[in-house]
Structure 1
Amino acid sequence: MCGRFSVNKAISPIVSELFNTHFNTETNANLSPSQSVATLVSSNSTYHQVNALWGIKPSWSKRLIINAQSETVATKPTFRQAFQHQRCLIPCNGWFEWRTEEGKKVKYLFEHADKVPVYMAGILFQHELTELVTLTTKPNLKCGQYHKRMPVLIAEEDKDSWFQSSPQDLAPLFQHVNNEIIHVERSD
């Protein structure tokens, strides 16, 4: 998954109602790593907002890590603890991927076909700052035409399972979403 996604503050009331909490985000049509992201966390079956910086930089890494592969997130030492105890959802309008066409990089926006928010799976790291990493999975056929990975998207009806299930029981949520759910359009 590429390192950009889009958030519009117009999703705030929709997210607030679905999660029965006060959610407030600012519009950022090109949210990039190291910027602040509004996320949702669950504690005792209630949801609340936590703002986090997108990306972590462990002492062993030369670069910012923004994504973790869902297939290995439960076992990799860097991610294991956060995955067990600090899961979050990132409400957004969609994400961006680029592909080369006729020698030029062309930007595409991936969003829900019904223009409703999508909920990317993430994990939080809380030290001096609160930081996050998004989770990726193998793409569906539509997204696979643009990139070899896509975000793990948690359906509205699976939000409680995402937070309350044990790490071993989450594998079904890591499957890519159906092609029909995703709308792709060129974003110049």
Structure 2
Amino acid sequence: MCGRYAASRAPEELARIFGIERWEPEEALAPDYNVAPTKEVHVVLDRPVKDAPSRRPVRQLRVLRWGLVPSWASGPEGAARMINARAETVAEKPSFRRPFAQRRCIIPADGYFEWVTAHDERQLEVEGKKKRARKQPYFVLPADGTAFAMAGIYEFWRDRTLPDEHPNAWWATCSVITTEAETGPLAVAPDEGPRSLADIHPRMPLMLTPDKWDPWLDPARSDVDELQALLAPPPGGLMRAYPVPTAVSNVRNNGPELLTELAAPEEATLF
């Protein structure tokens, strides 16, 4: 799964990387080193500009809320449970199949976090009582330092309790598509700990390589078979992972220090 990630690149840099034509400076988000469900996030999408003379799709950087709310939902309460969509079933699930066919996006990240507990540390005994060890967080990112382009889908939801002119009448939300984690060796592995992404977690965000960006974002593409072909995992050996401070486990913590590369996992700490 993907439940936490970092996104620190400025809109200007994202515009250069993804060929973005339009973004609103007043909507730009500050760097976020601990992105959590239901937060506002940057996404890249191709969509006509409202009230523009041409209806051609324009590549835009938009701000959406992470946690997809289906258009038919009675309310947004389940958004936090809809942060991920599985690549294997995204074309079939009622909540995801229409966005998959019509509204796809890229969710740019520096990398994502996952937590690992060593088998010999799952139960520790302190003063005669067993305590559960805190999981060690790892940061997973492209080995060459490029942007992590996570495949995503987005949707619009109308809050019928509000009048049309209310600024919160419409919600724009998104979900990260996940796939099976790579079982091959990491491009750069930590001295201690997992040797592959599958050793960290069985799922991972689906990373789109640059050759897939245009077809994935193209709203004219709706053939399910063609779209599912784009969901193939990228070649192995592109990623690295390293242990980071356990401070990232608290969603209230935020800052570049959360991405500090540790030489080894932190000493086991207890709840």
TM-score by length of 1: 0.90
Aligned counterpart, 2:227: 170
Matched, 1:158 2:208: no
Residue 139 of structure 2 is aligned with which of 81, 92, 109? 109
How is 1:26-175 mapped onto 2 (pairs within 5 angstroms)?
26-43=30-47, 44-56=56-68, 58-59=73-74, 64-101=81-118, 102-103=121-122, 104=133, 105-127=135-157, 128-141=170-183, 142-164=196-218, 165=221, 166-175=223-232
Q: Which amino acid aligns with 1:112?
A: P
1:26-76 CA-partner distances (Å, limit 9, x unpaired): 211110001001001113353001211111355598663210111111111
Once the two structures are TM-superposed, the CA of residue 116 in structure 1 deviates from its matched residue by 1.0
| Alpha carbons 1:140, 1:178 under 8 Å: kept | no
Backbone CA RMSD of aligned residues: 2.0
Aligned counterpart, 1:16: 15
CA distance in 1, matches of 2:92, 2:139: 31
| Alpha carbons 1:8, 1:93 under 8 Å: kept | yes
**Larger of the two Rg values belongs to structure:** 2
Q: Which amino acid aligns with 2:176?
A: T
CA distance in 1, matches of 2:45, 2:151: 11
| Alpha carbons 1:36, 1:52 under 8 Å: kept | yes
1:108-154 CA-partner distances (Å, limit 9, x unpaired): 00101011101101111112211111101111112111111111111
CA distance in 2, matches of 1:51, 1:40: 9
1:75-124 CA-partner distances (Å, limit 9, x unpaired): 11111111111111011100111111223301000101011101101111
CA distance in 1, matches of 2:14, 2:60: 11
SS at structure 1 position matched to 2:95: coil
Percent identity among equivalent residues? 27
| Alpha carbons 1:9, 1:25 under 8 Å: kept | no
Q: Which amino acid aligns with 2:150?
A: M
Aligned residues: 187
CA distance in 2, matches of 1:80, 1:2: 20
| Alpha carbons 2:44, 2:62 under 8 Å: kept | yes
SS at structure 2 position matched to 1:132: strand
Q: Which has the higher strand share?
A: 1
Structure 1 unmatched runs, 5+ = none
CA distance in 2, matches of 1:33, 1:90: 13
